[in-house]
Each structure stands twice: as C-alpha cells, then as structure tokens.
Amino acid sequence: MSSDASRTRIAVVGVVVTALFGALFARLWYLQVLSAPTYRNAASQNGVKEVQLSPRRGRILDAAGRELAANRTFPVILVDRDSIQRSGKRAKLFAALGPVLSVEPKSLEERFKNDNYNKQQPLPVAEDVDPGVVVYLSEHQAEFPSVTISEGATRVYPYGSLASHVLGYVGRISKEEIDKQTGSDYNLLDFIGKDGIELTYERYLRGTPGKIEYEIDTQGRTVRELSHLDPIPGSDIKLTINADIQYLAELSLEQALLKRRTDAYLTKPNAIGERFNWKAPAGTVVIQDPRDGSVLAMASYPTYDQRSFGTISTKEYEAKYGRPEAYGPLVDRAVTGLYSPGSTFKLVTATAGLRTKLASLSEPYTDTGSYTIENCTNSCSKSNAEGSKFGDITLSDAVAVSSDAFFYRIGDKLGGDTADTSFGGRETLQQVAREFGFGSPTGIALPGEKGGRVPTKKEKEDLHSAEPAAYPDGVWVTGDNVNLAVGQGLLVCTPLQLTNAYSALANGGQLYQPRIVSEIRRPDGNVNELLPRKNGTPIAFGNTLVESAANREGILDGMRRVTGERTATSKETHPGTAAKVFVGFREATGFDIAGKTGTAEVGIDATANQDTSLFVGFGPVADPKFVVSVVMEQSGFGTAAAAPTVRTIFEHLYGLVPMPVPILVDMKAPMPVGPQLKIDFPADSVDLSKG
C-alpha cells in the first residue's frame, strides 16, 4: 500500500467529513432558525402547569338589595394526589382520615377513582365539614402531611325556589357550551349559568378567572411560580324584582290554581257518568310597574327548586321534570308560554276602532247578540259568549260587558276582503297590535323569550305551507280578522307581552321594554344603572292629542266598569264582567282598579283543553303603579279564576292584607361542590388537563 494511495483515501475521508458537518449545520439551521417559533411555543407549554383560580360569582339581588342568589363558602379538605398514588399509602391515609371525617374509607377510595374530580388537582375528600374537623386537622398536621384545608364555594338561592324561573341556575358547563364559547377561557370543570339571569348575565356574573402558572420539571414537581393572576370577582346584578311581591305572586298563583282544581268543570255527570274538575295545571302572574316598565314580579307555575339539581341524576331529572304530566316546571311561561289573549286583546281592537272611528264613545252600536260578516259565504254569523244581547252600546259599554259582536264588526271592517280603505285599510288591527308590542319579543333580559304571533294573510299562508298538518287551512278570510278582533284564532302572545301592552295603556300610551335588571354593580364599586327603555313613540288612541286622551279615558272608563266601579256611563243593565269579583274592593282598600277579563278557547276538545282564564288589572287608575296579569291554564272564564287572583294580589299591594314574607331556606341543604349533574362526556371529549 503506497502512502500516496493512503493520502488519496484520506482526502476522500476529508470530503466525507465535510459533508457530514454540512449536514449537521443544515439541520441545526433548520431547527434553530427556521423552526424556532414552533419549538419555542412547544417549550413554553412544556414545563408549565396552570392552576385555575375561580372568581367569586356575582350575586343576584332583589330591588331592595336582598340576596336572591349568593355564594356560600365552606372548608374543603384536600389530599395531595401524588402522595396517595400507591394503594398501600392511600389505604393507610383513608383509614386514618375516615373516622376524622365520619365517612367510610371506602367512599374516599371511590372519590379517588371518580373521574369527575380533576386528576391534575388535589382530591377533595370532604366538603363543608364541621369547624371541629378543621381545627382537629390543623392541630394534627404532622399526622396528615398530605392533607390541606381549602375553601370551596357553592351557589345558593337563599329563598329557595323563589323566582327560580327568573334567576335560573348554574351547572357544569357542557361540551356544546364550551364549543359555542369559542376563544373563551372556560374549561369542562367550570360552572356556567344555564337559565334565567344566571344565563343572560353570565358574562357579568362570572368574573374573570385568575391563574397561577407553575414551572414544573419532568416529574411534575413545581420548580417555581411563573405568574400569578388573581381572579376578578363577578358583578352583582340588581333586579327590579321585589322578593316580597314575587313571593306574593307565586303564592297567590299556586293557591288559586290549587283552589281552581277543586271546582267542578262538569256540574252534572256526562253521558258516560264522568265528572271533571278544572285541571288548572299551570299559570303565570306578571306584575309590572307601568311607569318605567320594571317587572316587579314574574311567577310561572309549576316551578322548580334549583337546590334539587345538586344531587339529582340525569334520569331522576327526566322523571321529575321531563314527563308531560309535570307540565314543564323548567319552562318560564311568563316569557316563553304562548296563549290566546282572548278578550284582553280588545284593548287593541278598541284602540284601532276608535282611531278609525269604527267605534265611538257616544254613538251606540246595536248588539243583537251576534254579528254577520259582510260579503261572506261560509260560517258568517258569530255570536256573543253565552248568547248575551246587549242592545245599544258605546265602546265603554262594550269593554265593560265584553261584547264580542261590537268588536267583531271592527275586525270585519278592518280586515275583510272588502276592507274599507277609509278605515286605514287592511291590517290596521295588526298594525295597532304591533304598536302594543304583540308579535315580537319585548326584549326582556331573559333567555328564550317568544315573540308570539299577530296573524296576517301572509302569516297564515306561510304557516300552512310550512306545516300543512298543523295548519290545514291556508286561505285568509275575513273571519280570521274577526277572530283576531276578540283575541282568538292564530293570535298568540306571552303573558309578559300582554302585561306590557296594558302598562302602555296605564301610563298614557308609552310602550316600554320590560326591565328586569336595574343595576350592574361592579366589583370595583362602580355601578352601571340600566335605565328604562322606551319602545317607540306613545300610542295614539285617536287622531289628535285631545281626541286621543278622551278615547283613552273612554277605554279606561269601560275597564273601571269591568271591576264594578260606578262611572258616569255605568248602566245597571250592563254590569262589568268582573263586577261581582271586586265587590267591596274599593271600599276596603281605598283604591280603585281597572281591568279586563279574558277567556281563551284552546282547540275544540273542551275536555282535553279547557279555556284559559285571563285577567289584567291595573291601579290606582288615575296614576297606575301596578299592572297585574294573571293567566291560568284550563281554568275557565277570566272572571271565575284569574280575576279573583288579581283581586287577592291587589289587596296585598294596596296594603289591605299584609304582604307574605318570603322564607329563607336552610342554606346548608345539600349542594355538593363535587360532581354536580352527572354529565356523560363522550369518549372523545377534550382533555381536562391543561399542560
């Protein structure tokens, strides 16, 4: 082997070496220069453990500042998970801890294995323990080195189920809710408002979570604290709801419904020997201050108790709340229930009639007990309820006695195929209904509010084409407008819309957006006041200001007479529809009250669907402070069920009878902070741990 050959080969080795170094440099350049941002990002997530600090949830206060929703804090006993990973150590600790906490060691083992507890965080072995236990554990720290005492908080509703539909409730966030809140900082163990104010004001109530970032080593042990961000507590929400009035509303409604169930629907046995009472399963009460649209009380029956959600399983929940016989306790009927308003809608027809001069305060219309639609070919004659004949009546009389014939004519003239354009043409009635807020949501700050429906030719056609089975008739006829005039047919509204419409009448014509939150009290002490919001310009009851004021007085006059007040236009022969109900009311309370009864037919089968009983009352009439609406499902005539309930409520509001005092419930009632409603996460659900 010549050394020249060796040197040639060494030269080749040199080339290989150079190439290898080139490869190393290229790779180093790729990793450190081209890909550095990617790896920096990966590195920053690598050694960091985040611990979320939950903010204190804001409270919900009533108008007087009383807590309707609050937080209760209590001691929580935690065990460091690392120290009990070995089953032997765990068994020993649980055996020692069990007697101290008065629980079976077995139940602690179950908690340890329960996936609902975050495995990245210390295991809570007991919540809400007696102070003695806390003292004992603090004094015996040496025996329980892995045990720490922390503070837990749970949502409490000090008045129990009071205003539960308004307040709503909180629960573990679901995967869908997280997906909806894109870019938010929620994770699967967080609680979130599920309904009511808890849901609509979630953004304010929740506050801003804090977090501590720890740098950890590969064994997961903390090296140091990287950052510490304290949580910012949520804002308190002050409602316009007054707890006393709310309790009055709920109590009155429940008692009225329970009483109505004892009244006979069939006084004599029917052909097969059956007797029925009124079903009276459900109803609503809305009490509003007409001067600014503030909702003072809003009751929906049946109701529910938020506390029960703490321990209930999904199955139990379904059984308790999901069955049809339960009549949907979770549904807030006041804002999501759709009812035919019946004769209470005559407020709108009266206004439309007075504006178009189809109705008059002086020129009488002759009520023969029925009305025949002009230019009509099919079922053209419509009768008053119970065949009443009222003779020559003015608008005030028609309101007081609730003459259907009087208002049928207005519906006919304003909406028939031959609608006289001199009366404003077609859809004038619908137009006025919309001015009173029917047909669209009022905009109250509660979830799921319905807008109801003001039927028009187009609306009917659309309904028919969308759901031919439910709406077999798609042809708009004059009869539809005639039905609308007395609040029947396809017209539906929520109890809140109805109340709000009467508030507009009561305050002189201004429609408000119903207000339920009056203040947002920020944790820094600042208070955002939510001012009343007017909805459009005042409603005209006539064509000039003078005429409008006079016409409004005419409507009020009729509504005073409904409750039996003797006015200049009163006639002995035409007593108000609820006169008997309010006998002695003025004398006893010293205040007057105006109102309107309503009885809404629901479907054809009277046994399955008894009439809805409605009454809307307001007073004192000269300067109304309260508008009270009562809607009772399957309870019959407005004057029979709803009107007495309104009287009861006003007797309390006017101070004749002391207000019932809402009861504070035991706040220590079971409300575990651990797994709430068991949620069955899908197998591919997101990783609960961050970092």
Choose which of 151, 325, 587, 687 interacts with another protein (CB under 8 A).
687
Q: Which stretch binds another protein (CB under 8 A): 18-26, 411-419, 442-450, 503-511?
A: 18-26
DSSP 319: I
Beta bridge partners of 264: 277
Minimum distance from residue 489 beta carbon to another protein (Å)? 60
Minimum distance from residue 156 beta carbon to another protein (Å)? 38
Q: Examine residue 379 and tell whether it contacts another protein (CB under 8 A).
A: no
Q: Which stretch binds another protein (CB under 8 A): 40-48, 115-123, 349-357, 564-572?
A: 40-48
Q: DSSP string of 138-190?
A: HHTTTT-TTEEEEEEEEEE-TTTTTTHHHH--EEEPPHHHHHHSTT----TT-
Q: Examine residue 314 and tell whether it contacts another protein (CB under 8 A).
A: no
H or E segment at 645?
A: helix 642-653
Minimum distance from residue 188 beta carbon to another protein (Å)? 16
Task: Please give the residues from 211 up to 270 whose contact with another protein meets the rule CB under 8 A.
Answer: 215-219, 223
Q: Examine residue 6 and tell whether it contacts another protein (CB under 8 A).
A: yes
Which own/partner pairs from 123-126 qualify as long-range (CB within 8 Å, at least 24 positions apart)? 123/78, 123/79, 123/81, 123/84, 124/76, 124/77, 124/78, 124/150, 124/152, 124/673, 124/674, 125/77, 125/78, 125/79, 125/97, 125/101, 126/76, 126/77, 126/101
End-to-end C-alpha distance for the chain, whole angstroms: 63
Q: Examine residue 681 and tell whether it contacts another protein (CB under 8 A).
A: no
Minimum distance from residue 681 beta carbon to another protein (Å)? 17
> Could you give the CA distance from residue 83 to residue 86 in angstroms, rounded to a whole number?
8
Beta bridge partners of 520: 237, 528
> Could you give the CA distance from residue 530 to residue 238 in angstroms, rounded to a whole number?
10
Q: Which stretch binds another protein (CB under 8 A): 30-38, 446-454, 480-488, 577-585?
A: 30-38
Indicate the residue among 217 and 386 with the shorter CB distance to another protein.
217
Indicate the residue among 24 and 661 with the shorter CB distance to another protein.
24
DSSP 287: E
Q: Examine residue 27 and tell whether it contacts another protein (CB under 8 A).
A: yes
Beta bridge partners of 213: 50, 227
Q: Find all residues with CB under 8 Å of 434, minimum gap 6, and list them.
A: 440, 454
Interaction mask 177-216, another protein, x per CB under 8 A: --------------------------------------xx
H or E segment at 78?
A: strand 67-79
Q: How far is CA 661 from the centre of its chain?
A: 24
Whole-angstrom CA distances from 640 to 264, 342, 560 are 12, 14, 18
Interaction mask 631-670, another protein, x per CB under 8 A: ----------------------------------------
Minimum distance from residue 158 beta carbon to another protein (Å)? 43
Binding footprint of another protein, residue count (CB under 8 A): 41
Indicate the residue among 44 and 227 with the shorter CB distance to another protein.
44
List the one residue out of 439, 418, 414 whose CA is nearest residue 428: 414
> Residues 371, 373, 374, 378: what is their CA dihedral angle, to the nearest 10 degrees?
-130
> Could you give the CA distance from residue 8 to residue 71 in angstroms, rounded to a whole number?
86
Indicate the residue among 178 and 602 with the shorter CB distance to another protein.
178
Q: Do 233 and 257 touch, CB atoms closer than 8 A?
A: no
Choose which of 25, 375, 473, 685 interacts with another protein (CB under 8 A).
25
> Could you give the CA distance from residue 187 to residue 190 in angstroms, rounded to a whole number?
6
Q: Do 660 and 90 touch, CB atoms closer than 8 A?
A: no
Beta bridge partners of 74: 152
Q: Examine residue 683 and tell whether it contacts another protein (CB under 8 A).
A: no
Indicate the residue among 28 and 264 with the shorter CB distance to another protein.
28
> Residues 267, 268, 274, 275: what is their CA dihedral angle, to the nearest 10 degrees?
20
Q: Which stretch binds another protein (CB under 8 A): 4-12, 340-348, 440-448, 630-638?
A: 4-12
Indicate the residue among 276 and 681 with the shorter CB distance to another protein.
681
Q: Examine residue 23 and tell whether it contacts another protein (CB under 8 A).
A: yes
Q: Examine residue 44 and tell whether it contacts another protein (CB under 8 A).
A: yes
Minimum distance from residue 175 beta carbon to another protein (Å)? 18
Indicate the residue among 47 and 302 with the shorter CB distance to another protein.
47
Choose which of 20, 95, 135, 583 interacts with another protein (CB under 8 A).
20
> Residues 167, 451, 517, 652: what is their CA dihedral angle, to the nearest 10 degrees?
-80
Indicate the residue among 92 and 119 with the shorter CB distance to another protein.
119
Q: Which stretch binds another protein (CB under 8 A): 44-52, 145-153, 293-301, 476-484?
A: 44-52
Would you call 462 helix, strand, or coil by DSSP?
A: helix
Indicate the residue among 5 and 604 with the shorter CB distance to another protein.
5
Q: Examine residue 14 and tell whether it contacts another protein (CB under 8 A).
A: yes
> Could you give the CA distance from residue 689 to residue 119 in angstroms, rounded to a whole number?
8
Q: Examine residue 685 and tell whether it contacts another protein (CB under 8 A).
A: no
Choose which of 21, 141, 357, 588 interacts with another protein (CB under 8 A).
21
Q: Examine residue 24 and tell whether it contacts another protein (CB under 8 A).
A: yes
Minimum distance from residue 22 beta carbon to another protein (Å)? 10
Q: Which stretch binds another protein (CB under 8 A): 32-40, 132-140, 299-307, 486-494?
A: 32-40
Q: How far is CA 372 from the centre of its chain?
A: 43
Interface with another protein (CB under 8 A): 1-7, 9-10, 13-14, 17, 20-21, 23-25, 27-29, 31-33, 35-36, 38-40, 42-47, 215-219, 223, 687
